[in-house]
Amino acid sequence: DIQMTQSPSSLSASVGDRVTITCRASQGIGNLLAWFQQKPGKAPKSLIYAASGLQSGVPSRFSGSGSGTDFSLTISSLQPEDFATYYCQQYKTYPFTFGPGTKVDI
């Protein structure tokens, strides 16, 4: 199975900060990586597909990059509604696997 790791596991930030979360796959996955945002008690929400594709309706302050084994999610200017947990997921190979999550709080 492909193992996904994320760093950091948590971070504290302020409104207006630029935040970057990294995700690493244990083997190459091309660009078949997604990013999700999850708030407490809510379902995950898709932000990014194919490593850098912005889902419809997602604010442009979110961006994704990377290919192969190393990926990143950047929030250019953190807003109050962005405080949440973020997960990456590879969908190159079965079983699809998620990263352990990065919690972004104040």
Which of 43, 60, 81, 106 binds other proteins (CB under 8 A)? It is 43
How many Cβ atoms are within 10 Å of 25's Cβ, its own excluded?
A: 24
Q: Report the alpha-carbon distance of residue 26 to residue 17 in Å, rounded.
A: 30
- Of the pair 15, 50, the CB lying nearest other proteins is at 50
Query: Considering the rule CB under 8 A, would residue 96 count as an interface residue with other proteins?
Result: yes
Which of 32, 61, 74, 76 binds other proteins (CB under 8 A)? It is 32
Listing DSSP states for 47-77 in one string gives EEETTTEEPTT--TTEEEEEETTEEEEEESS
Binding residues for other proteins (CB under 8 A): 32, 34, 36, 38, 42-46, 49-50, 53, 55, 87, 89, 91, 94-101
